Amino acid sequence: MDRIDAKIVRALQEDGRLTNQDLAEKVGLSPSPCLRRVRNLEADGVIQGYSALVDQKACGYPITCFMRIRLSVHSEEAVQRFEAKIMETEAVLDCYLMTGGADYQLRIVAESLDAYEQLVRHTIQRLPGIASIETSFAYGVVKKSRVLPVKLEGAL
């Protein structure tokens, strides 16, 4: 990871479909070495993939909420069953292990309040070993960035 790699990472976060030629120009390289660097970043796992960013509402998911969940049982089995269920639930977009009052924080999307209720009743509340759930709805988005502020300095 040198200065050029950082530029590449930043540029591809801002536009994941940049052509290699445009990217090369942006970072001040000719296409061949540029492509090689991109492939290396991919192989090293620095770049994990590419994705289209979509308008949630336009796709029929106007509702976003965050749930903070505390488990009553922290045995390995309970944790694994919980996390396995999270993994297979498509409406759960993110799930982090947290410090503080809750064990997990989930970001959940839904098509409607009805769909949300179904999800909570049929999936979330049936997760094994839940002690408490605290939910907050997002009713507006101030910012949604996809660009890590990768410093253009320092080797890693």
Partner DNA sequence: ATATTATTGGCATAATCTGCCAACAGGATT
Partner DNA sequence: AATCCTGTTGGCAGATTATGCCAATAATAT
> Which spans of this chain sit near DNA (rule: CB under 7 A)?
4, 19-22, 29-33, 35-37
Spatial CB neighbours of 8, under 8 Å, sequence gap ≥ 6? 23, 27, 34, 37, 38, 41
Q: Least distance from C-beta 152 to DNA, angstroms? A: 15
Question: Which listed residue (2, 77, 83, 117) binds a copy of itself by CB under 8 A?
Answer: 83
Interface with a copy of itself includes 48 (CB under 8 A)? yes
Q: Do 18 and 26 meet the contact criterion of CB atoms below 8 Å apart?
A: yes
Per-residue exposure over 21-57, b if at least 16 CB sit within 10 Å of its own CB, e if not: eebbebbebeeeebeebbeebeeeeebeeeeeeeeee
Interface with a copy of itself includes 76 (CB under 8 A)? no
- What is the spatial distance between Cα 75 and Cα 72, in angstroms, rounded to a whole number? 9
The item of a copy of itself, DNA, none sharing an interface with residue 20, based on CB under 5 to 8 Å by kind, is: DNA
Spatial CB neighbours of 107, under 8 Å, sequence gap ≥ 6? 64, 65, 66, 92, 93, 94, 95
The item of a copy of itself, DNA, none sharing an interface with residue 61, based on CB under 5 to 8 Å by kind, is: a copy of itself
Q: Least distance from C-beta 110 to DNA, angstroms? A: 28
How many Cβ atoms sit within 10 Å of the Cβ of residue 113? Answer: 11
The item of DNA, a copy of itself, none sharing an interface with residue 58, based on CB under 5 to 8 Å by kind, is: a copy of itself
Interface with a copy of itself includes 24 (CB under 8 A)? no
> What residues line the site for a copy of itself (CB under 8 A)?
1, 9, 12-17, 44-56, 58-61, 64, 66, 83, 86-87, 90-102, 104-105, 109, 111, 134-151, 154, 156
